Structures are given as C-alpha cells and as structure tokens.
Amino acid sequence: MASAREPLLAAHGVVKRFGHVQALSGADFTAHAGEVVALIGDNGAGKSTLVNVLSGVLTPDEGEVRLDGVPIRFTGPMDAQRHGVETVYQDLSLAPDLDAAANLYLGRELVRGGFLGRLGVLDRPTMRREAVAAFGELGVELKDVTAPVTTLSGGQRQSVAVARAVAFANKVIFMDEPTAALGVVQRARVLETVRRVADRGICVVLISHNMPEVLSVADRVEVLRLGRRVASFTAADTTIEELVGAMTGSLDEPAHNGNHAPVGTTEAEDGR
C-alpha cells in the first residue's frame, strides 16, 4: 500500500455521546480505496456507533470526517449514498415480500421512458435484467429474481443486501457483521464477494467478531476499545493473539499504535 496515498475515508477525534454514555471518545479511523478494513473491538467498544457516524446515520458531537480528503458532514444515510457510501445493515434492511430485483432498486426504481415513466410505471424487465447481472457479478446465482426474498436462503438474502450496496456504492461499503448469521459455505461466499468488491477499487469496512475471518479477508485491521482506536494492524503481519490483546487491552503497550502499526496506514496525521 502506497504510504503517500490520501486516505479515501478518514475520521479524526470523533466524539459521540448518548446522554451520559460516551460511545466514542476521540475515535480515529482510516481507510483507503480498494482495501478491506476490519473494524474490531469488544462488545460496546463503539464499532456500530463509529460506522453510523461514518455512514451518515448519526452526526458526531465532535471531530471530523473526511471523504477524499475533503471534510464532510452527511445529513443522513441518503446523503452518504449520494456520495457513494453504502451500508449493509446487520438486519439486511430488505423488504421480505418484494422480489430481489425490487429490493435491489428499492428507493431507486427504474421507470419506463416517456409518459408512462412520468406516471411512475416501473420498468421491471430492465430492473430484473440488471439484477441478474448484478448478482452474476457477485457470483451469486438466483434461480428466480421474481421470487420474494423471504423465500430465499439466508445467504442469498445476504447477497441481495450486498448486491444492493455494491450496485450503487462507488467509494465505501460498510458491513456490520455480515456473516454473523451464516453457515460455513455462505460465509465463504460473502467473504469472497467482499474481496471481489474491494478489488474493484471500493473500500469495504467490515465489522466482525470472528478473528480468523478477519485475518483471512481483511487487508488491515483497526481495533477500537472504549470508544478509541487503540491499534491498527496489517492483517498479513499479525496474529489472533495480537488482535485479541489489543481488543482487551492486555497487550496495551506493544499494540498501542506501536511497532505493529504499519507505516503505510498510521500516518503522522493520526496524531498519536
């Protein structure tokens, strides 16, 4: 990874309070185009809150978020989506009674040309065709894109949610525990998909509690503890023990942005 490269997405000193609970207390985050960044941390470390801040769901109380080096403050998830930032929610956020194509295009439906289009008449053939193409690109085979997603298997549903994000994201995709509910085979497929998406130059930020999974798919790992980033590793150069140590704080000294933090990712601008 080129060290001089401007991060695609960066957060500095983000603070977020819920009443008297401080979920984030000066958290930093860095992610580059084309990489898979795993965001790990113990329960309550602030991972979901950080992702919500970065994806426009929450506004930070303090701190700065930069996209492509430009300070930005999303007014909501839609605003983030307009900037090419998509989220795959943990609950997938699909409409179970609608088919895969309709879910893929939910809120961004394609309409017919001309007068019918102005009446809001949907262009289902095109949406279905594009949906098949989108799933094909992810290596997902859906027998029937016209079947309601509720009839699909867990993995297929997951693919629909991922395909939805992939189809519209051109910068960043956040995935909150995308494999938590999946079996071995489907988990492997989703991880494959994650890799493929990153190879297209999109940054994928993955929250996960599964350390072997993190090491196998991520390029880098950022560790949150008590609302702060406490370490940043290159996945290839680290071990599960090290990750767990950083998460729990037992290896505080060495892991704390110390010798394991790779040069390319922990730049001077991180400040500590």
Ligand X SMILES: Nc1ncnc2c1ncn2[C@@H]1O[C@H](COP(=O)(O)OP(=O)(O)OP(=O)(O)O)[C@@H](O)[C@H]1O
Chosen from other proteins, Mg ion, ligand X, none, partner binding at 179 (C-beta under 5 to 8 Å by type):
none
Instruction: Print the binding letters for residues 34-53 with Mg ion: x by CB under 5 A, - otherwise.
Output: --------------x-----
How, if at all, do strands 9-18 and 62-67 pair? Answer: antiparallel
Is 221 within 8 Å of 232 (Cβ atoms)?
yes
Contact between 98 and other proteins per CB under 8 A: yes
Considering beta carbons, is residue 48 or 179 the nearer one to ligand X?
Answer: 48
C-beta of 40 vs 100, nearer to ligand X:
40
120 touches other proteins by CB under 8 A: yes
Closest approach of Cβ 167 to other proteins, in Å?
Answer: 13
125 binds other proteins (CB under 8 A): no
Question: In this structure, what are the phi and psi dihedrals at residue 208, rounded to the nearest 5 degrees?
Answer: -155, 150
**What residues have CB less than 8 Å from 129, skipping those under 6 apart?**
none
Strands 172-176 and 85-88, sheet pairing: parallel
In a 10 Å sphere around its CB, with 0-12 CB exposed, 13-18 middle and 19+ buried, how is residue 145 labelled? buried
Binding mask of the shown chain, residues 11 to 50, with x at each position contacting other proteins by CB under 8 A: ----------------------------------------
Q: Other CB atoms closer than 10 Å to residue 97's CB: what's the count?
A: 10
Closest approach of Mg ion to the CB of residue 76, in Å: 20
Binding stretches for ligand X (CB under 6 A): 18, 21, 23, 41, 43-49
Question: What's the longest Cα–Cα distance across the chain?
Answer: 67
Cα distance between residue 54 and residue 229, in whole Å = 14
Q: Which stretch, 30-38, 61-69, 144-152, 234-242, contacts other proteins (CB under 8 A)?
A: 144-152
Q: Closest separation between CB of residue 50 and ligand X, Å?
A: 7
